[in-house]
A and B are shown apart, each in its own frame.
Chain A
Amino acid sequence: MSARTARLTLAVGKRDHIRGPIDAPLTLVEYGDFQCPHCGAAYPVIEEIRARLGPRLRFVYRHFPLTNVHPRAEPAAEAAEAAGAQGHFWDMHDRLFVHQDALEDEDLVSHADALGLDVQRFVDELAEGAHAPRVRQDFLSGVRSGVNGTPCFYVNGVRHDGGYDMASLLGALEAALRAA
């Protein structure tokens, strides 16, 4: 019974939200929860890492809402997808992590308004649960990949079992770059 290496089981592809060049040598996948304080703390670290690595990195965000402890995580995830349907996933992603204290329904609507979205469409899609299947698909892909809490990161497909501080995460990415 040796320790198993957890790997990403759902390859990064067209379905994903990707920041950075599609053919970058490094891929960082985050499974995150918009109401999770640790994910909120990791957000500026990721931004700094993206700035430092530039075109060598593509960053992928997938949803992993822990709905029992974070009751607003699921609506927030669906809101990000609803914004994504209008071409503004990353704008909403950034906004939610910066405003983790404003995730109630009316807050989500005002975020959509601030981003210049078609608010009626946004509200309708949330009411219908139009993006719930996508969020669940992300969640289950994380489960099958060994996600064990949030945030959970994969560096070139292998789970990063260290912390999400700059030294640990950037160190893992630089090591992967040397190994590539």
Chain B
Amino acid sequence: MAALQPGTKAPDFSLHTTPDQAVSLHDFRGRRLILCFYPADWSPVCGDQVTLYNELLPEFRQHRAELLGISVDGVWCHLAYAKHQKLHFPLLSDFEPKGDVARGYGVYHTPSGTSERALFVLDEAGTIRWSYVSPIGVNPGADGILGALEAMEGTRAS
């Protein structure tokens, strides 16, 4: 399975972030968006990754970009995890059918039953401008995301 590449329209989705609240991709039309697929809440490498991105929300927002985390964990798990890590961005639950959104983006990892560790940067029109799949044990950091956002400056999509 290959991850969706730059230039591709990002497939729309609607996923729960709390038991009674859903987030849809099309809600973010007109804004830049970072999609962070990660294998699971609570695993130590993910902890570092979401902790890092949580610290970088001001930098992302300087580039007018919002951040969404997506994993196959359920909403209650996400709520506990977000509270524990003091996260200030939504975690989306790709739970039913499991991994359906990850599959649509080409980043479902069947052997582990989770998504890959994958990043997508979308422009204001919902087109993928950058994507990256990290080796599953390696936290990709944030330099790639910031580089992609900088490359988008001055090329605002309609």
Q: Nearest chain-B residue to A68 (Cβ)?
A: B86
C-alpha spacing A18/B100, complex, angstroms = 50
Assuming the contacts A1-B132, A66-B51, asked whether A143 and B144 have C-beta atoms less than 8 A apart, the reply is: no
Picked from A9, A145, A150, A161, the residue with its CB within 8 Å of the CB of B138 is A161
Instruction: Bits for B114-158, please: 1 = Cβ < 8 Å to A, else 0.
Output: 000000000000000001111100111111101000000000000
A51 close to B (CB within 8 Å): no
Q: Does A20 contact B (CB under 8 A)?
A: no
The yes or no answer to B55 lying at the interface (CB within 8 A) is yes
- Which residues of the other chain, B, contact A121 by a CB distance below 8 angstroms? none
| Residues of A close to B133: CB separation below 8 A | 1
Please indicate the chain B residues that have their CB under 8 angstroms from the CB of A3 in the complex. Answer: 134-135, 138
Distance A4 CA – B140 CA, assembled complex (angstroms): 9
Chain B contact residues, CB within 8 Å of chain A: 3, 45, 48-49, 51-52, 54-56, 59, 85-88, 131-135, 138-144, 146
Q: How far is the CA of A69 from the CA of B88 in the complex (A)?
A: 12
Within 8 A of B (CB), among A38-81: 66-69
Count residues of chain A with CB under 8 A from any CB of chain B. Answer: 20
A residues 69-121 touching B (CB-CB < 8 Å): 69
Q: List 13 A-B contacts (CB under 8 A).
A: A1-B133, A3-B134, A3-B138, A66-B51, A68-B54, A68-B86, A139-B55, A140-B59, A143-B52, A144-B143, A146-B140, A148-B48, A148-B139
B45 to chain A minimum Cβ distance, whole angstroms, is: 8
Chain B min CB distance to A98 (Å): 24
Q: Per a CB cutoff under 8 Å, which of A4, A67, A145, A161 touches B55?
A: A67
In angstroms, Cα B146 to Cα A145, docked, is 11
State the CA gap A139–B59 with chains docked (Å): 12
CA gap between A6 and B45 in the complex, in Å = 17
Number of residue pairs across A and B with beta carbons under 8 Å? 59
Interface string of A129-160 (1 = CB under 8 A from B): 00000000001100111111110000000000
In the complex formed, the residue of A with least CB distance to B145 is A143
Is there an interface contact between A68 and B59, defined as CB atoms closer than 8 Å? Answer: no
Assess whether A69 is in contact with B131, with CB atoms less than 8 Å apart. no
- Name which residue of chain A comes closest to B139, CB basis: A148
- Quote the shortest CB–CB distance from A85 to chain B (angstroms): 25
Residues of A within 8 A of B138 (CB): 3, 148, 161
Q: How far is the CB of B31 from chain A (nearest CB, A)?
A: 21
Contact flag A4-B54 (CB < 8 Å), given A68-B85, A68-B86, A148-B48? no
- Give chain A nearest CB distance to B82 CB in angstroms: 11
Contacts of A146 on B, CB cut-off 8 Å? 140-143
Return the chain A residue nearest B138 by Cβ.
A161
Specify which of B51, B59, B144 is in contact with A4 (CB 8 Å cutoff): B144
Cβ of B113 to closest chain A Cβ, rounded Å: 22
8 more A-B residue pairs beyond the given contacts A1-B3, A4-B144, A148-B49, with a C-beta to C-beta distance below 8 A: A1-B133, A3-B134, A68-B87, A143-B52, A143-B59, A147-B52, A148-B52, A149-B45
